[in-house]
Amino acid sequence: MARDSCLARITAGVAVGGALGGAVGAVYGTYEAIRFKVPGLMKVRYIGQTTLGSAAVFGLFLGAGSLIHCGKGY
C-alpha cells in the first residue's frame, strides 16, 4: 500500500511540475519571442519549444523531489 501511495505522489509531482513549467515556459517564451522580434510563424515554434522544455525540467525536478521525500518516514 505504501508503494502505491509513493507512486501516486511521484506521478502527482510530475504532473504539477509539468503544468507549472508549461505555464511559466509559455509566458517566458512569449516574452522572449516578442523581445527578440522572432518573425511570423516562427514565434509559435519558439514558444512551443520553450513551453515543452520548461515543462519537462520542472516536471523532472518536482518528480525527483517527490521521490526523495517519499523515502522519508515522518
Look at residue 71 in the predicted model and tell me its pLDDT: 76
pLDDT in tens, 4-60: 688 999 999 999 999 999 999 999 999 999 999 999 999 999 999 999 999 999 999
Task: Please report which helix (H) or strand (E) contains residue 1, including its range.
Answer: none
Mind giving me the DSSP string for 21-43?
HHHHHHHHHHHHHHHTT--TTHH
Distance CA 65, CA 59 (A): 10
